[in-house]
Each structure stands twice: as C-alpha cells, then as structure tokens.
Amino acid sequence: MTGSFNTEALQRDGVDMAPPVATDPFKRCFDILVAGLLLIFFAPLLLIVAAMIKLESPGPALFRQTRGGLNGRTFTIYKLRSMRCEENGDKVVQAQRQDDRITFIGKLVRSSSVDELPQLLNVLKGDMSLVGPRPHAQAHDRYYETLIPTYNLRFQARPGLTGLAQIRGLRGATNDIEDMANRVKSDIDYIDSWTLMSDIRIMLMTIPHLLLAENAY
C-alpha cells in the first residue's frame, strides 16, 4: 500500500463519507495541546531510556517504520527500539511472548508501553491522533484487507496512540483472523460513535488497561 488509498474502499452504500472523527477541529486542537504537554512531561524519561537502549545493543534508539494513516496515506511512525532487529518489508513478524529478538530494556518499555511515547511527535505532525485505530505495518494491512471486508474502513480516522480496541483488551499480537476482525469491529465502532468525550474516556481507561494487560510484551 503506497500513496493514497482507493476511496472506493471508504464508501458505504456508494456514498462518500467524511466522518467527524477525521474532520473535527476540536479533536485536532485537543491532540496538539495534550500531546505537547505529554511530550514535555516525558522528555526526561525518553532521553534516559534512549541512552539505555543505545548502551545495551547496537543500532539507533529510535525505530522508524512505514504505516498506513488517514485515508490510507502512508507515514513514518516513531517508536523506541525494543528489538535487536526489526523488519520494514513484505514479511513483518509480530512480536510474540518470549520473543528472543526483544532486548532486556525492550521488555521493560514494551510492557509499560513507554516505547510508544515517541508517537506523540506523530500526533503533533498530524499523522496520528491521541485516540484512534492503532496503525499496522503495511504488510499486515495488505494481508488483512483481503480477508476482512470491512478492514479498510478503519482508515477513516487518523491512527491513534490508543483506541477503543485497546481498552477492550484487543491489543498485542493477533493470532488468527477472528482476533483481527474483532479489533477492526472495535475500530469501526469508535469511528461511528466518536465524540470528544469518548476520546477523553478512552484515554482515562487506557491507564489501568496498560497496568493490567496480560498481552503486552
């Protein structure tokens, strides 16, 4: 998937749709304000963790990968590197429990989701939102769009740092099509029923889910 997405994939009953979640100016203002404040607050932690990553294993502290965003347009996502090697091609292997590619520091930052904090920069750039469907690797997008008819509807919103699927416990590796189908359903539910208050509620509910989730690794 490169460039813009086929707009026919973002139609229902032949009618083009531009849902409020993708166009509301207050959502964008909220994203900029909160992401900016969080980035300032977490800056010392990010610098310390980045230094620890560099000391533990060769390679950059920051991991970059191409993902699909709003309307399928691609962007470069930022994460703290948690593995000894990463893929960014046609064969992307999701991290699994006891994955030997994950470093010691990587285990800590993944379990606490600290590795996702650099995506606050993506939010400020407008590539992402604080709340929305989690972006997947392009290889996964190409794979699942052929198996799940509604998969591409999730591109009607900017991808998020967290989302409705995550607070429903649908995070981590997807082991079968049903897992991904359930995640996609949650993403579409979020898009269809979006309000600014729902974003605030999801953000608040994300905190205990991060602390209690068993499928974060």
| Least confident residue range of 5-9, 15-19, 21-25 | 5-9
What is the predicted pLDDT for the residue at 12? 41
What is the predicted pLDDT for the residue at 13? 41
What is the predicted pLDDT for the residue at 3? 44
The alpha carbon of residue 175 and the mean position of all alpha carbons in its chain are separated, in whole angstroms, by 18
Between β-strands 15-16 and 74-80, what pairing exists: parallel, antiparallel or unpaired? unpaired
| Least confident residue range of 69-73, 112-116, 187-191 | 112-116
Which of 163, 158, 190 minimizes the C-alpha distance to 72? 158
| Least confident residue range of 96-100, 103-107, 121-125, 178-182 | 96-100
Which of 64, 175, 52, 191 minimizes the C-alpha distance to 121? 64
β-pair partners for 207: none
What is the predicted pLDDT for the residue at 1? 44
- Look at residue 193 and tell me whether its pLDDT is greater than 80: yes
Q: pLDDT: is 104 or 6 the higher one? A: 104
Q: How confident is the model at residue 121 (pLDDT cuts 50, 70, 90)?
A: very high
Q: Which amino acid is at 9?
A: A
* Cβ-based neighbours of 37, under 8 Å, separated by 6 or more: none
**Mean pLDDT, the chain, whole residue set:** 85
CA–CA dist 142, 147 (Å, integer): 9
Give the rounded percent of residues in the chain with a pLDDT score beyond 90: 65
β-pair partners for 74: 68
Three-class secondary structure of residue 152 per DSSP: helix
CA–CA dist 37, 15 (Å, integer): 39
Give 137-169 pLDDT, tens digit per residue: 999 999 999 999 999 999 999 999 999 999 998
Give 51-105 pLDDT, tens digit per residue: 999 998 888 999 999 999 999 999 999 999 988 754 444 555 554 555 567 888 8
Q: Look at the chain and count its residues.
A: 217
